[in-house]
Amino acid sequence: MDSLKDKTAIVGLGWTAFSRNSGVSVLSLAVEACKKAIDDAGLSVKEIDGVVTHNMGDSVMPQEVATCLGLPNLGYHLEYWGGGPAGCQVVINAAMTVATGMARHVVCFRALNGRSGRRLGGTGERPPTTGEAQFLIPYGWTSFVHAFAHLARRHMIEYGTTTRQMGLVAVAERRHASMNPRAMMRTPITLDDYFASRMVVEPFRLLDICLETDGGCAVVVTSAERARHLRHRPVYIMSAAIGSGPDPTPYGLHTFGWLRGSHTTLYGKYISPQLYGMAGITPEDIDVVELYDEMTIAVLVQLEDFGFCQKGEGGPFVEEGRIEIGRELPVNTHGGFISEGYLHGLNHIAEAVSQLRGDAGQRQVENAEIALCTSLGMQAGSALILRR
């Protein structure tokens, strides 16, 4: 069986402005991001024959985007319902599509008015109390933030993790965002600022939690062979994995696995063997890491589950600035969801590609050759290892 290793590459990146109120439609954000990514690749719109995306009832269909772009012959298209785990998953889907000859150039996008439109945190909504939500919402467990609060609490109980350590993630990400013109939050913060930010869902303060963002982000995937003739130095998809372990808990309120499974070991532990195996590398070979960070605690847990430290040592690992640019393992070099914006994972992938191309400006990680990006939705997730 052929491996996906190094068969495909990410060749184009596109972003709209990230804001609290875009003032434009989601379709407008989607096509702007896609067109920019296609232009960045040095491709003509007419060469795009695949479009993939994901949504949580807040986006637009690939068919609408294809129509608006004027694609002469839309081929492969996919709209995956899902949030957290889907960012890398849709890019992996595009890579498999290209590697199997189903399409030649696939644009992957995520677009949403996540603050001015349907708010990502569900603020103001009264979600239905059907399915598993019938056991949660009547008690006031109404948001994905609440589920992650259990994860943080259990990590504190089992491993002695502290809010200070969670705060250090927020501080590092904001420092990175201060060097990122796209970032929504660019003013550096200190641990004092972190502790002064208001409690939202204990143990989380405001600065532990992702932003709500209006925006669009897109990447173009093509074959490694074609990538060598395009505008930028290709960034190859070295390996990919999707999975969850024994208790696949997909999104916010979907807690089947969450109620009975481990709260402190996530999908990363289960997909790491395939991920590192396909790439033929170990965590020590990775130069830059973009970890899905809807909450600060998720960074600590993924550092453990992807093998950068032992289980339970994510907290101590982030001390002394170790995850800042210029140090041992730069993490979330764009500022992550907590400071750049919540584009649901594609912005992490775009940042990793920027770093590997060497065009990340002030926040460039020196000699970045290999990057890890992850996408997480509770217990399920996906990940990519990219190389230049």
Partner 1 sequence: MNKYKKPLPTPDLETRHYWEGCRRHELLIQRCPDCRTYRFPPLPMCPCCNSMNKEWVKVSGRGKVYSWFVVHHATHPDFAADVPYAVVLVELEEQADLRLPSNLVDCRIEDIRAGMPVEVVFEDVTPEISLPKFRPLR
Q: Minimum CB separation from partner 1 for residue 26, in Å? A: 21
In the complex, what is the shortest distance from the CB of residue 317 to partner 1, in angstroms, rounded to a whole number? 23
Q: Is position 380 an interface residue for partner 1 (rule: CB under 8 A)?
A: no
Number of residues that bind partner 1 (CB under 8 A): 42
Among 3, 72, 81, 202, binds partner 1 (CB under 8 A): 202
Confirm if 195 and 205 have CB atoms less than 8 A apart: yes
| Token pair in block for residue 234 | 């290709």
Question: Are 368 and 288 within 8 A, CB to CB?
Answer: yes
Residue 23 touching partner 1 (CB under 8 A): no
- Closest residue by Cα to residue 111 from 34, 210, 12: 34
**DSSP secondary structure string, 243-311?**
E--SS---STT--HHHHHS-SS--HHHHHHHHHHHHHT--GGG--EEE---SBHHHHHHHHHHTTSS-T
Residue corresponding to tokens 């808990």: 249
Structure tokens at 88: 């890398």
Of positions 1, 2, 101, 198, contacts partner 1 by CB under 8 A: 198
Which residue among 8, 22, 93, 143 contacts partner 1 (CB under 8 A)?
143
Q: Phi/psi at 31 (nearest 5 deg)?
A: -75, -30
x/- mask, partner 1, residues 145-174, rule CB under 8 A, reads xx--xx--xx--x-----------------
Footprint of partner 1 on 246-265 (CB under 8 A): 255-256, 259-261, 263
Residue written as token pair 């001390």: 319
Q: Which of 23, 101, 124, 326 binds partner 1 (CB under 8 A)?
A: 124
Q: How far is the CB of 131 from partner 1 (least distance, A)?
A: 8
Q: Which of these segments, 129-137, 160-168, 300-308, 350-358, binds partner 1 (CB under 8 A)? A: 129-137
Specify the stretch interacting with partner 1 by CB under 8 A; choose among 46-54, 94-102, 124-132, 159-167. Answer: 124-132
| Span near partner 1 by CB under 8 A; candidates 130-138, 163-171, 214-222, 380-388 | 130-138
Q: Tokens at residue 98, please?
A: 């290209």
Q: What DSSP string describes 210-239?
A: ----EEEEEEEEEEHHHHTTSSSPPEEEEE
The answer to whether residue 126 forms part of the interface with partner 1 (CB under 8 A) is yes
Residues assigned a catalytic role: 292, 342
139 belongs to the binding site for partner 1 (CB under 8 A): yes
Q: How far is the CB of 137 from partner 1 (least distance, A)?
A: 5
136 binds partner 1 (CB under 8 A): yes
Contact call for residues 379 and 230 (beta carbons, < 8 A): no
C-alpha to C-alpha distances, 386 to 159, 220, 330, nearest whole angstrom? 31, 14, 15
Q: Does 312 bind partner 1 (CB under 8 A)?
A: no
Per-residue x/- track, 47-86, partner 1 (CB under 8 A)? ----------------------------------------
State residue 222 phi and psi, 5-degree precision: -145, -175
Q: Does 338 bind partner 1 (CB under 8 A)?
A: no
Q: Is residue 47 within 8 Å of 26, Cβ to Cβ?
A: no
Residue 142 found at the interface with partner 1 (CB under 8 A)? yes
CB of 253 to partner 1, least distance (A): 10
Min dist CB 201 to partner 1, Å, is: 5
CB of residue 118 to partner 1, shortest distance in Å: 12
Number of residues that make up the chain: 388
Q: Taking Cα atoms as reference points, which of 42, 31, 180 lies closest to residue 110?
A: 31
129 makes contact with partner 1 (CB under 8 A)? yes
Cβ–Cβ under 8 Å, residues 121 and 204: no
Residue numbers 207-226 binding partner 1 by CB under 8 A: none
Give the integer Cα–Cα distance in Å for 188 and 186.
6
Using omega within 30 degrees of 0 as the cis cutoff, is the peptide bond preceding 203 cis? Answer: yes
Residues that bind partner 1 (CB under 8 A): 119, 121-132, 134-143, 145-146, 149-150, 153-154, 157, 198-203, 255-256, 259-261, 263
